Chains A and B, each alone.
Chain A
Amino acid sequence: MRKFLLGLIEMLREIGDQNAYARHLAEHGVGHSGAEWRKFCDERFRDKYQRAKCC
């Protein structure tokens, strides 16, 4: 049950881009800040919202 809940939270974090942000910080070797989050979002959203959403 615990494993299931942890997996569920992990999935929600992935869908919510929080994991992608953590990877972004690790990749660039920088700490979390408002400016870094905004930079990450601008890059990610530019790509994400060039794709159609499914019907």
Chain B
Amino acid sequence: MNSVTRRQLLVGAAGLGAAVGVSACGSTTGGRPIPPPVDPTLAEMHRDAPSFIVILSDDHRADHLGLTGVAPGLQTPNLDRMAAQGVRFTDATVTTALCSPSRASFITGEYARRHGVINNLSAWDPANVTFFEQLAAAGYRCGYIGKWHMPGALPDLRGVDTFITFTIDEGQGVYTDCPLVINGVDVERPGTYVSTDLTDLALDWLAAGDPAQPTCLFLAHKAVHHPFSPPGDLEGVYADEPLMDMPDEAFTYQPLLERNVWEGTAGQLSTVYQRYCETLLGLDREIGRILDYVEASPRADDTVVIYTSDNGYSWGEQTLTGKRWAYDVSADVPLIVRWPDGITERGAERGAPVLNIDLAPTLLDLAGLDVPANIQGTSWAPLLRADDPTWRPEVYYEYFADYPYQVPPHQAVRTPEWVYIEYERGLPPELYSRADDPDQRRNRYGESSTEQIVSELSAALAQLRVAAS
């Protein structure tokens, strides 16, 4: 929409005042779990299906794992442990590097333009179907615990027996004393740190189940989103540790640039980044508690634990602090899978380009269920056993304007070798070599040597754009 009518202006002006009150109070509606009717035959058939624990973090960039050595002092012993026990995908990407769209894509298996949560201002459509519904109908006990963060009233979530989330700060949550909505009821949580609190609730939920029944827990953390508040005992632990060197174009007060300031990272870049790493260390500790529980449980070998994030994060690359862009640091996410029964080559890495929309079909595939036609992702379950030369050669990325963040709407095609981006306004196309230029600093678009590849990628992007619709 490019213009405002007089009526809209009046409505907006009147509503602006009301918005003050609304944002100060907040109100909770919905947020209740809706267990679906279970098909007894189907449930009996899937009694031996694997259990799932999906741990989704926030803003954790793909290379920030202890095992990569990108930030020498950074430790993520439990994520490293998961990777050593399972498979790590080294080219996992989200289709939109932004909280709400990416979260919706994870649980629906659809691109943002399909599920409708195209930015952080777009409400969840209750008609959207999530993988919980199909798993629950097949006898799975499903739970959603943690960050929902989609605008509008909380939905009543079909397919889960427990829905725990938060609405404070527009659904972003807060690190300490974060009030929760537990199955539709507002509950204060004084004296808690949110990563620990959510993990406690997750462990309680796991322990309350019937060990013979397959389960699917979706545990979505606030960490490591800004304001990057580590637990008290980890504050400052990286003060003297060598972390990632800031790129040349980064500078101390870069977070105060207008393109970055709304990301909530105001302050000195190195200080904010250090807190990010400390918050990640705190999250890793909580993941360790989940792993410890799983390893001691009767279904230890038959529980698939998946760790990933909703998007990556730029820490100074191209003077950016945040996400949203199609660049690797922003769009790439960690993806680690632990599953003793299903993974024979432990510690393996897979370079196939996989997406957040692949999670839903993967879970359904691993559960032995049919993947519905609406799902646009592809199961990466076969990649847990071996690389697949027929796997998709490229992936599609899309970003819709998200006010007030100064990122033009754009689409991109990403191959293992290239990232090609077309902006809808404000910027010319960009082409980067992913192998030679991992931080995407040298735009090769316009060079005579890349004309052919631009032509090919532009055509591929046009096709992918249509296919995603």
Partners in one complex: no
